[in-house]
């Protein structure tokens, strides 16, 4: 009888211990799920320089992220949205206003959404680069060729370039000029992320259809499809996802 009571008591102790272990694991999981890091909080963004060639660009001492797209794709609006500064990049209704390699220094910190605290007080600094459009406005053949050489020189020679965000107008079906440019970047072995812009300017069903069509066109000749984001500068759609990617790349060992 005594032995049976001891066995029952032992089983209760084991059961209680197992329950405590389960609770501890559950608390760890809950804590982990609550520790959600939002996209980096941009502390400041400032214009540095506009360069006519890669040789004139700032010293490549920080990671660099370039933004490029066809003329009138909404590049300046997207950059301003990302940096939370409507006056950072000049917006214009006239396509082709960006004619130089424009560098902006960005500084941000990682933020924990569960506590609204700054996880890493050490600023995350990087360069944002606004490149001229490849669709080009109404310019001479000579000027167009000069722009092409400037862009190619920058993209292929800039040693600290970590990602090229190629902007595509979500209101339109796949454009051959965009596909040709992406194929060229792929041939050069450069890192690419697709950014579909102006998603708020068209019905969502049409936007989704156009994005799907574009990805399907790439699948016809590409083995690996770049990741993509659908954005709206007006609604700040896609902002956190782009900044999270930049933050993730910045955190990787150099």
- The Cα–Cα gap between 164 and 166 comes to 6
Per-chain mean pLDDT for the chain: 83
Residues of the chain above pLDDT 70, percent:
75
The token pair that represents 8 in the structure block: 């029952």
Q: Is the pLDDT of residue 140 over 80?
A: no
Q: What is the pLDDT of residues 167-204, one digit of tens each?
A: 999 999 999 999 999 999 999 999 999 999 999 999 99
DSSP string, 6-73: HHHHHHHHHHHHHHHHHHHHHHHHHHHHH-PEEEEEEEEEEEEEEESSGGGSPPS-S-EEEEEESTTS
What residues form DSSP beta bridges with 107?
A: 44, 125
Greater confidence, 32 or 220?
A: 220
Q: Helix or strand or coil: residue 142?
A: helix
Check the CA dihedral 160-161-163-165 and report its sign: positive
Can you tell me the mean pLDDT for 105-133? 77
* Residue 252 vs residues 148, 165, 190, 228, 247: alpha-carbon distances, Å: 31, 18, 18, 20, 9
* Residue 187 vs residues 180, 183, 184, 191: alpha-carbon distances, Å: 11, 6, 5, 11
Which stretch of 110-119, 187-196, 210-219, 232-241 has the lowest confidence by average pLDDT? 110-119
For 126, residues 6+ apart whose C-beta sits below 8 A from its C-beta are 62, 63, 64, 65, 105, 106, 246, 250
Predicted confidence band of residue 34 (pLDDT cuts 50, 70, 90): very low
What residues form DSSP beta bridges with 55?
A: none
């Amino acid at each position: 009888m005594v032995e049976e009571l001891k066995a029952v008591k032992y089983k209760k102790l084991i059961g209680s211990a197992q329950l405590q272990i389960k609770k501890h694991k559950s608390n760890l999981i809950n804590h982990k799920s609550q520790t959600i890091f939002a996209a980096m909080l941009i502390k400041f963004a400032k214009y540095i320089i506009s360069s006519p060639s890669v040789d004139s660009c700032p010293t490549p001492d920080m990671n660099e992220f370039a933004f490029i797209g066809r003329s009138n794709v909404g590049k300046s609006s997207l950059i301003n949205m990302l940096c939370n500064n409507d006056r950072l990049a000049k917006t214009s209704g006239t396509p082709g206003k960006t004619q130089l390699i424009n560098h902006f220094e960005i500084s941000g910190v990682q933020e924990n959404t569960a506590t609204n605290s700054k996880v890493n007080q050490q600023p995350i600094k990087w360069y944002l680069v606004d490149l001229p459009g490849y669709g080009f406005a109404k310019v001479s053949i000579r000027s167009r060729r000069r722009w092409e050489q400037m862009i190619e020189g920058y993209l292929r020679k800039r040693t600290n370039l970590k990602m090229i965000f190629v902007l595509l107008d979500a209101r339109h079906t796949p454009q051959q000029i965009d596909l040709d440019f992406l194929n060229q970047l792929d041939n050069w072995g450069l890192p690419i992320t697709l950014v579909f812009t102006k998603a708020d300017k068209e019905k969502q069903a049409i936007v989704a259809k156009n994005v799907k069509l574009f990805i399907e066109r790439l699948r016809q000749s590409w083995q690996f499809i770049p990741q993509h984001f659908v954005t709206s500068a007006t609604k700040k759609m896609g902002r956190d996802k782009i900044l999270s990617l930049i933050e993730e790349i910045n955190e990787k060992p150099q």
